[in-house]
Amino acid sequence: MHGSAAPALLFALLLIALVVATVYLFAARRYAAPPPITSTAAQVAHQFNLTLYVMGAVFILAQFALAFAVFRFRDRGQRPRFSRGNVALEIFWMCAAFAIFIGLAIAGQHAWAEVQFTPAQPNAIQIEATTSQFVYTFRYPGPDGKFGMLHPRFVDAPAGNPLGIDPNDPAGRDDIVVPTLTVPVNRQVELLLRSQDVVHNFFVRELRIQQDAVPGMLIPIHFTPTRIGKYDIVCTQLCGLGHQTMHSFLNVVSEGDYEAFLARQEAQQ
């Protein structure tokens, strides 16, 4: 087979076919994320696409270079030559990789800081989100605007007190406890994440937010949804045997529907 170009050509073409198939899957947006519903989520989506395009270009160039090398340097019966590499090229690769990674990190720091380092606005709607195996429970402070005290002693889901609201605390009497999250459109929401047992997670694709809930910690996150709709909330931490059933909904509704929701719930408490 010395000097035969066919196997090398076949292998090179196979590599190119794999690259084309991979690029097609992304370009056709077959597994695309749903559109973002907050300005921060739009920034995250933009950052994600930027990273995808830059790394996609590197991937395509590298695979084409490999296909070229496979064909160009195929076995022609020649003696192998030993190479110690090329210091100038090595330095160039390293600097290029460094520039790309640091550049992408700098481009993404604004979206990151907006979620992680910026506190919620003082007028944000505070809602508590408690995770437990394998449900989400949301609590609104009710008309008094104050959350009642919680104590593990009072936790009793069958009796209707899954969070353990202290019955002796007047601030807790009007608290609204529901299994799904309803929020008004175009208002900032501050979600206070808790966990009653193990590490869970609050993930909504349209918010581009994925935040762990850790026992013993109160983790605040905030977002301002700008599109009315019903979105999935899922747990992305393997939290036990029922993990795959851990699911809820984020309902983004109009201001009027939100008031009606609160009034309906208050009447039921």
Q: For binding to Cu ion (CB under 5 A), which residues are involved? A: 200, 235, 239, 246
| Least distance to Cu ion, CB of residue 153, Å | 24
Secondary structure E strands in 196-243: 200-204, 209-213, 219-223, 229-234
* Residue 74 or 200 with smaller CB distance to Cu ion: 200
* Residue 202 or 258 with smaller CB distance to Cu ion: 202
8 Å CB contact between 163 and 137: yes
CA distance linking residue 126 with residue 234, whole number of Å: 20
Angle at which helices 39-72 and 6-27 pack, to 10 degrees? Answer: 170
CA distance linking residue 188 with residue 113, whole number of Å: 16
* Residue 120 or 129 with smaller CB distance to Cu ion: 129
CA distance linking residue 166 with residue 173, whole number of Å: 9
| Least distance to Cu ion, CB of residue 131, Å | 6
| Least distance to Cu ion, CB of residue 196, Å | 11
Selection from 25, 88, 110, 102 nearest residue 59 by Cα: 25
8 Å CB contact between 192 and 131: no
* Residue 103 or 215 with smaller CB distance to Cu ion: 215
Q: Give me the residue label for tokens 């601030």.
A: 171
Sequence-separated contacts (24+) of 27-32 with Cβ below 8 Å: none
| Least distance to Cu ion, CB of residue 215, Å | 12
* Residue 74 or 194 with smaller CB distance to Cu ion: 194
* Residue 38 or 201 with smaller CB distance to Cu ion: 201
